[in-house]
Structure 1
Amino acid sequence: MTPGAPQVEILASPRGEALGQLWRELEAKAAEFSFFQSWTWVGCLADERYPDPVLLRANSGGRLLGLALLNRRRGRLCLAESGEPVLDAPFIEHNAPLLAADAGPEVEAALLRAAWQVPGVGQLVLGGVPPHLPRLAGGIAWRWQERPVPLVALGPVRAAGGDYLAGLSANSRYQIRRSARRYAAFGALRLDRAETLPEALEWLEALATLHGETWRARGRPGAFADDFAWRFHQALVARAQPRGELDLLRVTAGERVVGYLYNFRLRGRVYAYQSGLDHVGAGPHGKPGLTCHAMAVERAIAEGAESYDFLAGPDRYKRSLANAEATLVWAELVPRWSARGLVVRLRGAAGRIVGGRPLRALTPASAERPALREGNTRGAGAADQPIAVIIGGPAPRSSDRA
């Protein structure tokens, strides 16, 4: 049953265990949500990440139907982010309000549209969200970037007999098998999962060391260089491991470490978030990233997972290993009749060129929304509004993924 006419409460400065308990209660009633919508992620170091938090709570007939946690910063309201680059260095994806199983798209729309009623807000920031979400919020997109999300839909692999490599291109199979032969010189390849919290924290540190070496060689600090980012991930591992939501993996060849994978898993989905790979010891034919991820995908198949998600980015290795693709959006919305909104509307009417590409109007989400080849995203409803979009604005932060 789809409840109607949800009422949305705007609660300033939600804090403490009560919020976490409320969030977990709704998780238990949700049909689907990503790891990045779970309280494990959303609530990690929450007092630091959300200095000026706002909670939107949707109810109908006394039932809790949806929650959205945002942070207010300099006139911007950010969904599950702070709006401060240092605090948002832990890169969020598959972001959205958390909804009960019987909450229809009108609940999601009501939550997002209520955000415009928060005092002092002139901009709504939706990072790493499904493409339909900004359309539900209304307003006009001042910034908009779509990014591909390569993934492995594991159902078709099982249906074809479970041979993951057989479904890849001939070149990808060759690269993976040649890499395996290279590592076989050091001993048998082995994939292990950190089974205890102390072991997980030890492996996280080893992963961060290899990750940092890789990115410093490329002239960048990497994802763990900042003090807050490192504390966040230590805390996140401590939250996720006891709940069975952490896949911190190590691949070895004999006594030699090939690499570590920092993955999450929730409700049949595996999210490949970060890695630390030994590129120096790989030699000319060793491919530590391909080797580690291929072994992790095969384990996910054996354990009954639904998908192995490489997360956003057009990296070649992701597309080489994937058999499906979704889309995520980074959008900054402004009110239609604000100064910026009028600028966008005028440019759209004039058909000008912005950022080297033409401005275009988007059709309602129900008509255009990209979908997974395997699975789907949450549907859109009658409240959808076409929005104008500036193409070619600044890209979102780099996730420094190796």
Structure 2
Amino acid sequence: MESKNSSIQCEWIVNPDHKWLAEHWCALEEQAEPNLFLSWLWIGTWLDCFVDNCCVVLARQEDKIVGLGIIVIKEKKIAGLSYGRQFCLHRTGIPSQDQIWIEYNDFLMDKTLANTVRPLMTACVMSQMNGTDLFEIGASLDVDFVSNGPQSVAAHCGSERADKQAVLSGLALAEKRAFAEKEVVWESVGFALDFGPLKDKQQTLDSFLSRNARYQIKRSLNKYNALGEVKITTASSVTQGLELFNHAAEYHLSRWGSKSEQSGFANPGFLHFHHELIRRGLPQGRIAIHHLQAGEDDLGVIYNFHHANWVLFYLSALNYGSGDNHLKPGLVAHYLLIQDAWENGALGYDFMGGIARYKKTFANRECRLAISQFRYPHFTYSVKKAIRALKRRALKRRVLSESSSDCP
């Protein structure tokens, strides 16, 4: 008897035709778990803005495509010398380009086969790697990209979809996976407010929030209302959306810094990507840019995504210049936008990754997000591991030494 995935084949395709990729991506998107960052809106914009050369890993079950992933390969260098390649899933490996920050990153897969297909696609990518090469995935949920269990898959790895089919047996790939090493290079927590549990308990947003949160929001709203009516203007055209996005720059740069690695508004690539994303997504109702005001006073801008009846908070640029610590523009802005999403029948409000007090205030759901690197054992990495272990031990000894010297 054949195993469940015996008919799944993975192929490695170099620089596929863009129209072919768009057509099959959009078709598979209908069968996948909803994910804004794996939608063609995001992926197609990313490809057009940043990617000239890429590879695609494709999974088939018989004649049906059940998995797709786009890999950009970047040469790693130190002092101009190459020390391997970095295979990146839906990223380029260039910090200025990856500053757009994809979340919930994964292969695009038929949701009924995802747990089976995901490790097979990872294995196909890693079959292209040698020596000090690594495969970087993230920011992603805590799911299994590598499975060491016995699986059967044929991987056709060639420069064209139907060419040079150098078949690797399922056993060979399983053996290679068994030696794969994983290292988490970044991690955080994601927060969301799922409206379902609240509605099941017949709670309102106010009854869900803590007494302290309600007090802070009410106090801040009263102070803002003293300046004038608090109102939200949502961009209704691409022109207005771009104007509000550009208006956000001053506040964002002021809060996070004017260097390109600090605020994305100082990064031309970040700006180009989002200008294009707004042009494509706002007319579809998938981009929502909100301007918040109290009378003539400016509270700032909130930039959200709408996908699968969820609101996803992407970016805020708020006016903290009042000098009054009792004014909470972020808390008030999200409170009002969550209320609006609730009243308009949304399923929830996703704050996504990043730890912040206001996210904990509203959230009833958390998840782990991480950027992980997968590689095969190599002497270079063994040396790096040993050096890191020595540094940790030295730091621990220093802390203990300083603690003992403080004793009377």
Quickly name the TM-score band, shorter chain normalised: 0.7 to 0.9
Amino acid paired to 2:286: E
**Which among 219, 240, 247 is matched to residue 206 of structure 1?**
247
Distance 1:80 1:219, change over 3 A: closer
Q: Percent identity?
A: 26
Residue 283 of structure 1 pairs with residue 283 of structure 2: no
State the match for 1:29 in structure 2.
Answer: 31
Alpha-carbon offset, residue 4 of structure 1: 4.6
C-alpha separation in 2, matches of 1:218 and 1:90: 15
Amino acid paired to 2:125: A
Amino acid paired to 1:50: V
Alpha-carbon offset, residue 128 of structure 1: 0.7
State the match for 1:11 in structure 2.
Answer: 13
Residue 179 of structure 1 pairs with residue 220 of structure 2: yes
**Which among 110, 133, 136 is matched to residue 125 of structure 1?**
136
Alignment of 1:314-393 (within 5 A): 314-335=355-376, 337-340=377-380, 342=382, 355=392
- Count of aligned positions: 352
State the match for 1:116 in structure 2.
Answer: 126
C-alpha separation in 2, matches of 1:122 and 1:328: 23
The answer as to whether partners of 2:123 and 2:146 remain within 8 angstroms in 1 is no
Q: Secondary structure at the match of 1:43?
A: helix
Q: Which runs of 5+ in 2 are unaligned?
A: 76-84, 149-176, 396-408
C-alpha separation in 1, matches of 2:73 and 2:18: 18
State the match for 2:313 in structure 1.
Answer: 272
C-alpha separation in 2, matches of 1:219 and 1:63: 43
Residue 70 of structure 1 pairs with residue 110 of structure 2: no
State the match for 2:57 in structure 1.
Answer: 56
Amino acid paired to 1:37: L
Q: Secondary structure at the match of 2:70?
A: strand
C-alpha separation in 1, matches of 2:318 and 2:236: 20
State the match for 1:262 in structure 2.
Answer: 303
Residue 85 of structure 1 pairs with residue 125 of structure 2: no
Alpha-carbon offset, residue 356 of structure 1: 6.9
Alpha carbon RMSD of aligned pairs, Å?
A: 2.8
Distance 1:4 1:194, change over 3 A: farther
Alpha-carbon offset, residue 257 of structure 1: 2.4
Q: TM-score, normalised by structure 1?
A: 0.80
C-alpha separation in 1, matches of 2:100 and 2:358: 22
Alpha-carbon offset, residue 64 of structure 1: 0.8
The answer as to whether partners of 2:7 and 2:62 remain within 8 angstroms in 1 is no
Larger radius of gyration: 2
Amino acid paired to 2:136: V
More divergent stretch after superposition (124-133 vs 277-286): 277-286
State the match for 2:165 in structure 1.
Answer: none
Q: Secondary structure at the match of 1:230?
A: helix
Alpha-carbon offset, residue 288 of structure 1: 0.5
More divergent stretch after superposition (75-84 vs 105-114): 105-114
The answer as to whether partners of 2:292 and 2:301 remain within 8 angstroms in 1 is yes
More divergent stretch after superposition (265-274 vs 253-262): 253-262
Q: Secondary structure at the match of 1:242?
A: coil
State the match for 1:44 in structure 2.
Answer: 45
Amino acid paired to 1:131: D
Amino acid paired to 2:379: A
The answer as to whether partners of 2:119 and 2:145 remain within 8 angstroms in 1 is no
C-alpha separation in 2, matches of 1:108 and 1:249: 37
Q: Could you report, residue by residue, the CA deviation over 1:92-138 in whole angstroms, capped at 9, with x for unpaired residues?
A: 11111111243241111111111112255820101111112444494
State the match for 2:107 in structure 1.
Answer: 97
C-alpha separation in 1, matches of 2:392 and 2:345: 44
